[in-house]
Structure 1
């Protein structure tokens, strides 16, 4: 009997419980998601969140499924992660009837004999998105959020059109099917719009529908909004808080990243993720360091 292998993203972000070590999970961080000097921050968030899903999704009280879905995740990025083995250590802070809280730390061994180095620390609220009643936009007049205006997928610019030097530093461009709106790709030819906006379509190349863990990766999947301001280079995340609002419908995701305040060597970057049913399914805000000028 043959078994179907898991989709690439699930394999790349898989965690495995350590025997005899409750709350600890082994992971193998994927080099295919490297960008700049480390692994993409959204992938690190997805790996850590998967371990928390395993921990908080266990039976509790009268809930046989526990709380498997991330609702709000706040992460501090402490050091650049490298491809290879890692450990996620989780902590159950509180279990409730509708929401549970947990913490987690992603660690890697840098040198033989030395202690592990923390890459990421997370505090999160988990629930069950199937408990959410109605549509995100069901109550007309109670939201000002509107789906982003994007050119059709076939008119957007794929990752293969990125400058060669950028592709060389970002293998993840070969892992994500990204199609940037033509309005925000001028930076690639030295003509950024100056709006501080990145937007486009996103999906995985494998046949895998989006889910809450993929949404956590998607909030950090586009090039930094600073590129659209003419600041090209690695923009490492210091802190990122993501809110997952609903389980996404199958199909392309529309992603928008914007920044309104660039000062003191840092920028805030807001993200919205919309699904194929025109629902705002995830939001985030992060603080990132601006690319260092040579």
Structure 2
């Protein structure tokens, strides 16, 4: 069960990987950060929502008294494009165990006008200070071994222009959720996959913000192809993930009025539920 490696044959470390470089922010002044959105994380020419959430999450990690995201809720206002961006943060409330802040990401249009792309409200804390007790009825998704799963390299891109982000991810999808790739979608609205970063970097709380939004849309298994833009995405980070590949399961139960929800769970190699999310997305027409 192996993930990718760098060109030198070694796994990238947290803090020294493509993901870290591409989500980096530079503090211009207190509460204001400059960022460069990479074209490497695009899906059909728009920047992936999970990647964008990680950029904002990194700025909030620096701006708030606590460094670990516990819950992050984002509204995607306009489609972000590769290139320069500005993140503005504000401390809403600082407490002993939790601090709450808000952040917005801005870009400029052709006339130089500032456009708000995303607005986030988040609570941060210290994941290492959480108690060890777990009482749960949740169970990890049943995904076949990696050698019996398939990655983007095993078939054509599902939609034109969708290959950039897949080159930066290590995905091995459950064959039971790949009917869409064979022209026979199941209609169940499910997607399951082993997940990691292509350079082998282990997961951390910030990369979990990417993981919940990095699989092919469940709309594909509903028989609908095309861009599925996120309207709102809320992520709960439950604990710091253990090293090794993650298991991600996403389900959609209701497509109505041109919108669908996606519920995601992310599990680590220790069998722990490390992240959960729900998003509302606009369904493609067709």
TM-score (norm 2): 0.92
Task: Report the CA distance between 1:164 and its aligned residue.
Answer: 3.8
2:37 to 14, 17, 29: 29
Name which of 142, 145, 153 aligns with 1:152.
145
State the alpha-carbon separation in 2 of the partners of residues 6 and 164 from structure 1: 29
- CA distance in 2: counterparts of 1:251 and 1:164, whole angstroms: 26
Tell me, yes or no, if structure 1 residue 90 matches structure 2 residue 89. yes
1:218 partnered with 2:217:
no
Per-residue deviation, residues 118-167 of structure 1 (Å, max 9, x unmatched): 11100000001011111xxx44xx31100000010111011112424636
Report matched runs for 1:169-248 at 5 Å.
Answer: 169-248=162-241
- SS of residue matched to 2:165: helix
- Stretch of structure 1 that moved more, 205-214 or 273-282: 205-214
For the residue of structure 2 that corresponds to 1:17, the secondary structure is strand
Do 1:195 and 1:229's aligned partners in 2 also have CA atoms closer than 8 Å? yes
Instruction: Determine the C-alpha separation between the residues in 1 that align with 2:68 and 2:230.
Output: 23
Shift of 1:37: 3.7
Q: What SS does structure 2 have at the residue aligned with 1:166? A: coil
Whether the aligned pair in 2 keeps the contact of 1:37 and 1:80 (CA below 8 Å) is no
Partner of 1:127: 125
CA deviations on 1:64-120 (whole Å, 9 max, x unpaired) are: xx31000000000011111111010000001000000000001111224x3211111
1:50 matches 2:47:
no
Contact 1:177/1:203 (<8 A) preserved: yes
Match among 20, 23, 26 for residue 10 of structure 1? 20
Cα offset, 1:206, TM superposition: 1.3
The question of whether the paired residues in 1 share the 8 Å contact of 2:44 and 2:161 is answered with: no
Query: For residues 129 and 164 of structure 1, do their structure 2 counterparts lie closer, same or farther at Cα, with a shift above 3 Å needed?
Result: closer
1:81 is matched with which residue? 80
Choose between structure 1 and 2 for higher RCO, CA contacts under 8 A separated by at least 6 residues: 2
Q: Deviation string for 1:14-42 (max 9, x for gaps)?
A: 00000xx3200000001010002410000
CA distance in 2, matches of 1:40, 1:173: 11
Give the counterpart of 1:117 among 104, 108, 115: 115
What SS is found at the alignment partner of 1:215?
helix
- Report if aligned partners of 2:90, 2:103 keep a CA contact under 8 Å in 1: yes
Mark the runs of 5 or more structure 2 residues left unpaired by the alignment: 1-12
Q: Deviating runs (4+, > 4 A) in structure 1?
A: none
Looking at structure 2, the residues matched to 45 and 25 of structure 1 have their Cα atoms a distance apart, in angstroms, of 14
